[in-house]
Amino acid sequence: MAQSSSPPFVRIGTRGSPLALWQAHETQKRLAAAHGVPLEAIEITIIKTSGDIIQDRPLAEVGGKGLFTKEIEQALFDNAVDLAVHSSKDMETNLPDGLALVACLPREDVRDAFICKKAATLAALPPGSVVGTASLRRGAMVKRLRPDIEVVSIRGNVDTRLRKVETGEVDATLLAYAGLKRLGLADKATSLFDVAIFLPAVGQGAVGIECREADTRTRDILAKIDDGITRTALTAERAFLRALDGSCRTPIAGHATVAGDRLSLRGLIVKTDGSVAHETSRDGVVADAEALGADAGRELKERGGPDFFAHL
């Protein structure tokens, strides 16, 4: 983007995918409006991550979802950018020392979308159909609902995955409805899964903004656009994931909602073949968001036992 002659008001680091750029530009617009500065005063730097480069293997085989964030986080440490904008579900459970998740944009629809040319719903897919997904959670939950369906791993951005359905490489795929909506592709969703039966990923639909923990200026700048409800829900969900030592190597789902001063959380762990699942829920006050999430995670970790994810 065009550079201003004066130093930027703040510098944003982001991946270069269409969805990542939407998130960065939305953050840019909100910051410009909140602080009364022109858009061009807020610099956007595109950073290529390992997750963007490595497209031929499942993330679980090559280091997990941190592959989408580590180069951007290094840019924070190097003071090359002031803040990083992420899809929250791509963020590592434990952030590097010195970095913090300090703000969230308002959350989008958290549901998963079913994309298929041959059937209106997962239930209507013929036995033996092939569903492609990059997500262990989605694959495991598909197998849980339809053990007669084959699940294969596919990588790539939203357009790439949609094209694999269009060309018949797979019969169906599942994508976050939030991403489709943000990209103007909501009409590509054949149907939507009910959250009650298909629990989303931790952080799904939420844009998380990370900065250096000690950078009080950037923290103050971000405070003006922080959506407290989303961040509270995310605090509970990430505490749940942390208690499970969760990453994209393990099929874990979790979703928190906030109403007034109350928070409700549902969490799920499931074996990759869908054969066994454990679910729990918590309700409490928002002030206890982190404790509620952590307690739910500890419960499921104990119920699953040490060998629950051993096959991974």
Active site amino acids: 90
Look at the block and give the residue holding tokens 């992420």: 86
- 72 neighbors 93 (Cβ within 8 angstroms): no
Q: Is the dihedral of CA 180, 187, 191, 230 positive or negative?
A: positive
- 175 neighbors 113 (Cβ within 8 angstroms): yes
Residues 6+ apart with CB under 8 A from 100: 210, 211, 212, 213
Residues 6+ apart with CB under 8 A from 308: 269, 271, 276
Integer Cα distance of 128 and 308 in angstroms = 27
- 155 neighbors 55 (Cβ within 8 angstroms): yes
Integer Cα distance of 25 and 28 in angstroms = 5
Among candidates 197, 300, 272, 248, which has minimal Cα distance to 57?
A: 248
Write out the two tokens for 119.
């059937």
Q: How many CA atoms lie within 13 A of 27 on its CB side?
A: 33
Bridge partners of 211, per DSSP, are: 83, 100
Q: What is the DSSP letter of 249?
A: T
Q: How many CA atoms lie within 13 A of 245 on its CB side?
A: 7
